[in-house]
Amino acid sequence: MTKRIAVLASGRGSNFQAVIDAIREGMVPAECVALITDNPQAYAIGRARAAEIPVMVVEYDSFSAREAYERALLSVMQQCNADLFVLAGYMRIVGNEIVQAFFGRMINIHPALLPAFPGLHGQRQALLHGVKVSGCTVHFVDENLDGGPVIVQRCVPVLEGDDEDTLAVRILKQEHRCLPEAIRLFCEGRLHIEGRTVRIV
């Protein structure tokens, strides 16, 4: 049975595009029912419209307080009636009420090998620490920043002379593979959370 997914993105939406393409090519048994964004200027909006995916804008700056924004976002997410919510370059921390409402049904992609280098600028953090291997992680979202159970990870080498941009490009190629893979596993009912471990069956 085809699952309903909704994607949250704030910017370019290249991972969103990778998901759209994977669905179109039959690699992911899902229907993308919405793009939700906090940024009315997000390039991802154009990608959604090109794919005839409904767009829901919940602009952070239009709310007087974060709590009001979170309530509006939760309401929009509930309206989607999605089986899975995918954070793909969504640049805001999701509040606990939303996490609790959708635990086990919300995933995020992060450009580092968690639990190393959570938060912003994972690629920069990796370079500053002098690591020899970096990569990306898809994980379930919980109350901890980039701290939920890991679903899929992919590694890339950190090369001599890398800067933040060159490393980011190499990681992004793996993100575009990782995220559709994790969504496919979810849609096939193959992910089981056992404490901090995600079992793939």
CA angle 144, 133, 126 (to 5 degrees): 55
Query: Strand, coil or helix: what is 141?
Result: coil
How far apart are the C-alpha atoms of 141 and 148, rounded to whole Å? Answer: 5
Q: Which two tokens stand for residue 91?
A: 């640049």
Query: Strand, coil or helix: what is 111?
Result: coil
Of 110, 121, 139, 176, which is the active-site residue? Answer: 110
Cα 108 to the center of its chain, rounded Å:
3
**Per DSSP, which regions of the chain are E strands?**
3-8, 30-37, 55-57, 84-87, 106-110, 133-140, 150-157, 191-194, 197-200
Q: How many CB atoms lie within 10 A of CB 11?
A: 17
List of residues 6+ apart from 61 with CB closer than 8 A: none
Q: Which residues pair with 96 in a beta bridge?
A: none
Q: How many CB atoms lie within 10 A of CB 49?
A: 12
Cα 138 to the center of its chain, rounded Å:
7
Answer yes or no: 176 catalytic.
no
Q: Looking at the annotation, which residues are catalytic?
A: 110
